[in-house]
């Protein structure tokens, strides 16, 4: 039950951490449950954890750092993101250093620009600084998030020595618009698609065709909705509740048939 990303074997879905450890500011009240949820995912074979310097103003990264203790680092694929306000060379290096410290690791597997800044020139400066960090070994791969096709073209032109490995975008059965342009562009340019908010906060479970297919394949609507996304992306659902997480894990290890996939796609 693996797929390939950045030349690495990873699990076909990852787990997200937005709202773990707080929203825009740290909130330590649920630390124990959130660390336990992440550990449960890792113990079940999930290898990808998505976080960002923004989440809980850094506290989500600290929780990820605690959760991964005891797991072999080389088996994990950690994604983090730099804020658009930190794309100047010195700022990016400082932000990266702080993320590494909070995560308790020497490298980040995939480092993303969280969203495009108003001034695209900053993307070029940020990517150049990231390329230096790839050479130093502090980052393994470089990517972007929330970039449209034009912005991805700009990023592709800016990178000198490194591939643009991924674009993390909102993609779910409630938000299928990336299937029109962003996903085809990524597929053509060998840029991996990472699907955030893949459950649309649970709303995907209410789609009639998803419910119908779920019955016929003996899985839940949430599992069907994630399995659908796994065909063209790496979904990164977030779950703090163990029951939610267990349901998410059941999206792995099987595949929708062509007919079931097409029925959902043409909804
Ligand atoms: N790059 C970006 O700009 C960006 C933007 C947004 C998100 N992200 C990343 O993508 C991750 C996922 O996106 P998201 O957190 O916005 O949304 P999501 O994963 O679609 O939804 C998370 C919500 O769904 C609930 N949930 C989880 N499993 C469920 C289940 N089996 N049944 C019903 N509800 C369930 C969770 O509840 P509990 O937590 O209570 O279990 C949580 O409230 C984030 O955590 C973050 O890492 C990136």
Ligand 1 binding pocket includes 239 (Cβ within 6 Å):
yes
Q: pLDDT tens digits, residue range 25-73?
A: 999 999 999 999 999 999 999 999 999 999 999 999 999 999 999 999 9
State which ligand 1 atom lies nearest to the alpha carbon of 248.
Answer: 31
Q: Is 55 a catalytic residue?
A: yes
Strand, coil or helix: 2: coil
pTM over cut 0.85: yes
Per-residue pLDDT tens over the stretch 149-192:
999 999 999 999 999 999 999 999 999 999 999 999 999 999 99
Give the distance (Å) from ligand 1 centre to CA of residue 196: 8
Please tell me the residue having the least CA distance from ligand 1 atom 11: 16
Residue 190 and residue 167 in contact, taking contact as beta carbons nearer than 8 Å: no
Mean pLDDT of 121-144: 98
Q: Which sequence spans correspond to the domains of the chain?
A: 3-199+234-240
Q: Which class is domain 3-199+234-240?
A: alpha beta
């Amino acid at each position: 039950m693996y797929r390939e990303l950045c030349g690495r074997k990873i699990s076909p879905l990852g787990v997200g951490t937005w709202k773990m450890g707080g929203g825009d500011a740290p909130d330590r009240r649920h630390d124990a449950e959130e660390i336990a949820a992440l550990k449960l995912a890792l113990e079940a074979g999930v290898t990808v954890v998505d976080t960002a310097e923004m989440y809980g103003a850094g506290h989500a990264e600290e929780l990820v750092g605690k959760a991964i203790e005891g797991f072999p680092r080389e088996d994990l694929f950690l994604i983090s993101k730099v804020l658009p306000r930190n794309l100047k060379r010195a700022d990016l290096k400082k932000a990266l250093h702080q993320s590494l410290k909070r995560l308790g690791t020497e490298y980040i597997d995939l480092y993303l620009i969280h969203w495009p800044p108003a001034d695209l020139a900053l993307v070029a400066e940020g990517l150049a600084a990231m390329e230096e960090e790839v050479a130093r070994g502090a980052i393994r791969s470089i990517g972007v998030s929330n970039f449209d096709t034009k912005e991805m073209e700009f990023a592709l032109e800016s990178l000198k020595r490194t591939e643009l490995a991924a674009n993390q975008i909102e993609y779910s059965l409630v938000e299928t618009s990336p299937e029109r342009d962003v996903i085809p562009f990524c597929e053509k340019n060998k840029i991996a698609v990472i699907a955030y908010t893949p459950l649309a906060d649970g709303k995907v479970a209410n789609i009639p065709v998803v419910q119908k297919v779920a019955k016929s394949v003996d899985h839940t609507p949430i599992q069907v909705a994630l399995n659908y996304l796994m065909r063209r992306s790496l979904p990164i659902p977030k779950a703090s509740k163990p029951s939610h997480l267990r349901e998410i894990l059941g999206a792995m290890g099987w595949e929708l048939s062509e007919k079931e996939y097409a029925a959902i796609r043409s909804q």
